[in-house]
Every structure is written in C-alpha cells, then in structure tokens.
Amino acid sequence: MTESSYCTGGPDRGDDHPSEECGVVAISTRDDDAARLAFFGLYALQHRGQEAAGIAVSDGRAVRLHKGQGLVNQVFQPGTLDPLVGSMAIGHTRYSTTGSNSERNVQPYLVETIHGPLGVAHNGNLVNADRLRTRLLERGAGLQSSSDSEVLALMLAAADGDSWEERLANVMPDWEGAYCLVVICGTKVLAARDPWGFRPLSMGKLPTGGNVVASETGALQTLGCVDIREVEPGEVVVLSGPIARGHRALPAKDKLARCTFEHIYFSRPDATWDGLLVHQARQNLGEELAREHPVEADVVIPVPDSSMPAAIGYSNVSGIPYNEGFVKNRYIGRTFIEPTDELRRQGVALKFNTLDSNIAGRRVVMVDDSIVRGTTSGSLVRLIREAGATEVHVRITCPPITNPCFFGVDMGTYEELISHQLGVPEICDHIGADSLGFLPVLSMMKALGRDDGYCNACFTGSYPIPIQLSLATEKKRFDGVLG
Ligand code: SF4
C-alpha cells in the first residue's frame, strides 16, 4: 500500500456530493519535526481527499519521501514517520480527478534535477494540461503518471532561473487553471496559488517558530498557528527556517474565480476564506433559502454534516424548529469491505439512520447542500417518509448543477448531472419530494455578501477560463452528448 524512497524519492464515493481533489500542506520549523507536523496538518485536511497521502521531508541535504494509498493514518503508521527527519516538509492528501486512481499518481512527486532533489504536490486541475504534457513528451521527457502534478514538477525542473522562486515565477504563466502548489527542495519550501484564486490556501506562524501553508485555515489552527492570512492569488511564498517571504509572481486576475463550493460543501466549517467563516456562510445560505423558498412545516432537519449550519439558518428565518433527523455513520464510506447485495439495495440506509421520534407525524423540511447525480436524495426522502413524516420538502443551498467542473472538482459528466438532464419539477418527482427548491445564483451570492470574484461555472456554464475545445468535446463525447 505504501512506498518509501530516499532522495529520489477509498474515497468516499458513496454519497451524492461533488468531490474535492486534494489538500496540501507545507512546513518549515526550527526543529526536525516537520514531518510530524505535516502529518497532523494532513489529518486536519483528510476530508479533501481520502484516496492517498504522502509527505516529503528535507533535512537541508536530502529529501525523503513516504506515500501510499489510503487514509492519512493508514499510510502513516507508528514508526513510519521516524525516518522522516528534517525541518522542512510538504504533504498531500489526494482524491483523484485528473489521473487515475493508481499508485503512480500518489503525491508528492520527487524528481532529481540538475539543481538537486525537487518534491512537488498540488491541488487543482490545469485546463491546458494535455497541451503541456504533449510539449514535455515532444522534448523527450518520460512521464510516469497521468496526473497534472507530474507535469508541473517536470516543467519546474526544466525552467530557467537562478533559484526555485525564479523558476516557479517563470513557469507559472504557462499554467492555466486551478492550482495550489507546494514545493520542497534541499534548502527551502515554497507554495504558490494560481492568479484566479480557485482554491483556498492560507499561511500562519507556528508558536515555536517556523511557518505553515495549508489548504484550509482549520489545519493551521490544529497546528497552533497565529497570524493566519490567505496566500494571495498569484503569490509565491518561500519558507526557510523561521523566515517566510511572499511575493507576487503573477498579478491577480481582474476577475477572480474562487470556487463557491468551498463555502457550500468542501471546506471545514471552522475554515475562514475570503474573510468569511464557512460555518457562518452556510448559515447565511440557509437563511436566504428560507426567504427564497418558504414552506409551511413542523421541523427543519439537515442532511449531516455539511448542511447543519444551513438548516439552522433556514430555521432561524422561517421560525420552524430545527432538529436532527438523521444519524450518520461517518465511517461507512471508509470501508473496503463490499456490502452484501441486500445491504447494497438499502443504499443510504447503510450511511444514515433516522431519529423517528423527531420526524413521525410531522411536515419535514430537509436541507441539503447539493444534488449532483440525484442518487441519494430519493433514498433520503424515502427514509424520512418511512420514519412517519406526513410531508417532505427538500431545500438545497446551491443552484442546480448543470455543468461539469474542469478545475479539479469531480462533479460527474454532463450525462451524469441530474440537473443537466431534468428540470426542477422532474427532479422533485424523481426524488419523491412534496416540493423542491434550489437557491438561485444571485441569492447565493447575496448570502455570501459578494457580487463577483467567484467561479459559478457549474451552475451557469460560464467558465472563467476558456475550456479547451478538445477537453469539453472529449467530456461530452464520453457522455454520449456529442458524437
Ligand atoms: S465549476 Fe463549480 S466546482 Fe468547479 S471551480 Fe467553479 S464553482 Fe467550483
């Protein structure tokens, strides 16, 4: 399951949510415990990817790597971290979108370069990766994986410049798409964020000296960081011992494209991004949803866990009492044991039990954050009815998802997206609800208190970066929509 090297170094697909690609962390400390800190940083980012994890560490001379498939605490067992001695580390937890689910795609990548060892890990998706990969192959590069991250590593290794900062700044203009990148070399750690700002990336100071960059502020808080701030779009940060320097490698785009789904679903509720506490943002979405789609009912229940703040918000504005209606088995999606056919037929019953006394005889508002393929909402509605609800009204804290994401979020294809295939009344029939309401784009942005600066392409089809025709065509052809 794991790979260790020296010098050269099961995602939860059972529910109907978009899936995030990855989480990254980069650390420099005064001591030799950077790998252990990276482990706990990754542990706090586990929700962003459960397929694989890895840590590369440098002691100022050599870079060591340990990575493998599985959850963070499966890849790193007691004793695994002991050989990873050094004051600098990068870490990665992976959900695969681009690049298949294989051992070779597990990050970080470690390559030897004429400038010394180089480790790279990233979160996101380049929309021009195919063109960049072809260019590398034409120049004779040997690619070992299908992941964008290897393309980033090889381009960086071959870039012009007297330092890794310069080489990074020189290749970043070639990269189109979403990337939060962490880099380790013999003597320092670097982090970079794309100029559109698709994915979150923040940094903070360790209480013992040293600095951390991580995908979410919750990971920084876990490590006790203070002076937390966002890594700006287009910024490169260099960490070396207790020193942290940031500079703009690229100007931020005039129209930023933060991923709205970080607020809706991906990020931990304790994360702060774009100045918004995610828990509060979700509560605001629920409040706006209650104004947009009121209904007479007796109880508001969330689909746990990400919809809890939104259900509280819906309850606050509607005056309908909030209560819990589902108990979630948080670990069922983490098992590699296949259920029996009978258990498989029960579908979400494996994942959720109902609290019948909170539901029986009541008109229920069920608040959820999204409907992607429409594979679980119907089962949840059925569970609520079986628990004795007299009516079930489904309320969703985002607009219908009508388009795939090309920036590193696994939404499914056009054909798989139920809102690409069906209108709201048909989806309501399909899931067996008494009524169904989605939050419109304008109301969603009003709830976030933002007019622009966000990507909403999966709702609107208006992509912030022109998508390569071949990429979109390929996806449609795959769906059977074209050709
Ligand atoms: S298309 Fe949707 S999921 Fe993808 S980056 Fe944009 S808002 Fe996020």
Domain-embedded: residue 347 = yes
Residue 269 has pLDDT above 80, yes or no: yes
Q: Is 428 in the pocket of ligand 1 (CB under 6 A)?
A: no
Q: Is 409 in the pocket of ligand 1 (CB under 6 A)?
A: yes
Expressed in angstroms and rounded, the spacing between residue 400 Cα and the centre of ligand 1 is 13
Give the E-state strand segments of 148-218 in sequence order: 177-184, 189-193, 202-205, 210-214
On whether both 97 and 240 belong to a single domain, the answer is yes
Which of 407, 439, 462, 471 has the most ligand 1 atoms within 8 A of CB, as the residue to mutate? Answer: 407
- Cα separation, 29 vs 225, whole angstroms: 12
Mean pLDDT of the chain: 88
Q: Whose CA is nearest to atom 4 of ligand 1?
A: 405
| pLDDT number for residue 130 | 87
Expressed in angstroms and rounded, the spacing between residue 401 Cα and the centre of ligand 1 is 10
CATH number at residue 22: 3.60.20.10
pLDDT digits (tens, 9 = 90+) for 155-188: 999 999 999 999 999 999 999 999 999 999 989 9
Region 115-123: mean pLDDT is: 93
On whether both 345 and 434 belong to a single domain, the answer is yes
- Asked if residue 398 lies in contact with residue 260, where contact means CB atoms within 8 angstroms, the answer is yes
Q: Is 95 in the pocket of ligand 1 (CB under 6 A)?
A: no
What is the phi/psi pair of residue 425, to 5°? -60, -40
The pLDDT confidence band at residue 19, using thresholds 50, 70 and 90, is: low
Q: Which domain holds residue 124?
A: 2-254
Q: Is 261 in the pocket of ligand 1 (CB under 6 A)?
A: yes
DSSP-assigned letters across all residues of 141-162: -----S-HHHHHHHHHHH---S
On whether both 201 and 139 belong to a single domain, the answer is yes
The model's pTM: 0.90
On whether both 278 and 418 belong to a single domain, the answer is yes
Domain-embedded: residue 261 = no
Domain-embedded: residue 325 = yes
Atom of ligand 1 nearest to the CA of 454: 7
On whether both 320 and 447 belong to a single domain, the answer is yes
Q: Whose CA is nearest to atom 5 of ligand 1?
A: 259
Atom of ligand 1 nearest to the CA of 404: 1
- Asked if residue 255 lies in contact with residue 275, where contact means CB atoms within 8 angstroms, the answer is no
Look at residues 442, 431, 443 and name the one whose alpha carbon lies nearest to residue 394.
431
Domain-embedded: residue 68 = yes
Region 138-157: mean pLDDT is: 82
Q: Is 405 in the pocket of ligand 1 (CB under 6 A)?
A: yes
Show which of 254, 280, 296 is a domain's final residue. 254
- Asked if residue 18 lies in contact with residue 372, where contact means CB atoms within 8 angstroms, the answer is yes
| pLDDT number for residue 20 | 60
| pLDDT number for residue 101 | 55
Region 13-32: mean pLDDT is: 79
- Overall domain count for the chain: 2
On whether both 291 and 214 belong to a single domain, the answer is no
Expressed in angstroms and rounded, the spacing between residue 118 Cα and the centre of ligand 1 is 30
Expressed in angstroms and rounded, the spacing between residue 458 Cα and the centre of ligand 1 is 6
Q: Is 401 in the pocket of ligand 1 (CB under 6 A)?
A: no
The pLDDT confidence band at residue 85, using thresholds 50, 70 and 90, is: very high
Looking at residue 34, its amino acid is A
Show which of 219, 254, 289 is a domain's final residue. 254
Look at residues 362, 45, 335, 34 and name the one whose alpha carbon lies nearest to residue 211.
34
Q: Is 260 in the pocket of ligand 1 (CB under 6 A)?
A: yes
On whether both 276 and 237 belong to a single domain, the answer is no
Token pair listed for 21: 């690609």
On whether both 240 and 325 belong to a single domain, the answer is no
Q: Whose CA is nearest to atom 8 of ligand 1?
A: 259
Expressed in angstroms and rounded, the spacing between residue 411 Cα and the centre of ligand 1 is 9
| pLDDT number for residue 267 | 94
Atom of ligand 1 nearest to the CA of 403: 1
On whether both 343 and 461 belong to a single domain, the answer is yes
Q: Is 323 in the pocket of ligand 1 (CB under 6 A)?
A: no
Residues serving a catalytic function are 22
Domain-embedded: residue 265 = no
Span of 30-34, 38-42, 97-101 with lowest mean pLDDT: 97-101
Expressed in angstroms and rounded, the spacing between residue 262 Cα and the centre of ligand 1 is 9
Domain-embedded: residue 31 = yes
Which of 458, 460, 462 has the most ligand 1 atoms within 8 A of CB, as the residue to mutate? Answer: 458
| pLDDT number for residue 465 | 94
On whether both 232 and 354 belong to a single domain, the answer is no
Q: Is 407 in the pocket of ligand 1 (CB under 6 A)?
A: yes
Q: Whose CA is nearest to atom 6 of ligand 1?
A: 455
Show which of 203, 224, 254 is a domain's final residue. 254
Expressed in angstroms and rounded, the spacing between residue 404 Cα and the centre of ligand 1 is 8
3-state secondary structure of 327: strand
On whether both 238 and 206 belong to a single domain, the answer is yes
Q: Is 448 in the pocket of ligand 1 (CB under 6 A)?
A: no
Atom of ligand 1 nearest to the CA of 456: 7
Region 362-388: mean pLDDT is: 94
Q: Is 457 in the pocket of ligand 1 (CB under 6 A)?
A: yes
Q: Whose CA is nearest to atom 2 of ligand 1?
A: 458
Expressed in angstroms and rounded, the spacing between residue 376 Cα and the centre of ligand 1 is 21
- Cα separation, 387 vs 356, whole angstroms: 5
CATH number at residue 461: 3.40.50.2020
CA 196, 199, 203: angle at the middle one, nearest 5? 105
pLDDT digits (tens, 9 = 90+) for 327-341: 987 665 555 555 566
Domain-embedded: residue 119 = yes
CA 148, 151, 156: angle at the middle one, nearest 5? 130
Domain-embedded: residue 259 = no
- Cα separation, 167 vs 155, whole angstroms: 9
Residue 480 has pLDDT above 60, yes or no: no
Expressed in angstroms and rounded, the spacing between residue 60 Cα and the centre of ligand 1 is 38
3-state secondary structure of 2: strand
Dihedral of CA atoms 60, 62, 63, 68 in degrees, nearest 10, equals -140
Q: Is 455 in the pocket of ligand 1 (CB under 6 A)?
A: yes
- Asked if residue 303 lies in contact with residue 15, where contact means CB atoms within 8 angstroms, the answer is no
Residue 224 has pLDDT above 90, yes or no: yes
Q: Is 456 in the pocket of ligand 1 (CB under 6 A)?
A: yes
Region 61-67: mean pLDDT is: 93
| pLDDT number for residue 10 | 31
- Asked if residue 463 lies in contact with residue 457, where contact means CB atoms within 8 angstroms, the answer is yes
On whether both 226 and 307 belong to a single domain, the answer is no
The pLDDT confidence band at residue 349, using thresholds 50, 70 and 90, is: low
